Amino acid sequence: MVGRTTGHIRLTVSDDTRQATIQPQVELDTPPTTLLNTDESSAYNHISDTGRGHVTVCHSHHEHARDDDGDGFCEVHCNTMEGIWTGLRNFLCPFRGVHKKYLATYTAIFEWTHNLKRVTADFLITLMIPNFTYLPT
């Protein structure tokens, strides 16, 4: 999921894309006042039953964005999330395949780096200076 106002993302590795798997995660990660923009996947069919707003675009009918209120701005789309998946794919590409056992870890690293809005000197020092010793204890 990606926040429209903050740009922060929340990624979860799932075993499948069935509604029984996806819906509990959506409920866990979003407040009840959330408006969800998704594609036409049946995994999202009952999201509105939880009290969350839900609008869809139908890619199979060549619809990628829609202007519902007539202001000339296509506010109904899931292109932002699709761009995030492209970013994750590009992040994983240099590793030439990731074992399923470690996919959640790589995904969490990508999520963390994407959500990091400001790189400070303290942050860089933490990354560059190891917090361990090579000497036996």
All structural domains of the chain with their residue ranges: 19-128
Q: How far apart are CA 44 and CA 55, in angstroms?
A: 10
Is pLDDT of 115 > 80? yes
What number is the average pLDDT over the span 66-79?
A: 82
Is pLDDT of 41 > 70? yes
Q: How confident is the model at residue 126 (pLDDT cuts 50, 70, 90)?
A: confident
Q: What is the pLDDT of residue 137?
A: 63
pTM for the full model?
0.74
What number is the average pLDDT over the span 57-75?
A: 83
Give me the percent of the chain exceeding a pLDDT of 70: 98
Q: How confident is the model at residue 59 (pLDDT cuts 50, 70, 90)?
A: confident
Q: How far apart are CA 39 and CA 59, in angstroms?
A: 7
Dihedrals phi, psi of 132, to nearest 5 degrees: -150, 170
Q: What is the pLDDT of residue 122?
A: 80
Q: What is the pLDDT of residue 124?
A: 82
What number is the average pLDDT over the span 28-53?
A: 89
Report DSSP letters for 65-129, one per residue. Answer: EE-SSSSS---EE-HHHHHHHHHHHHHHGGGT---HHHHHHHHHHHHHHHH-----HHHHHHHHS
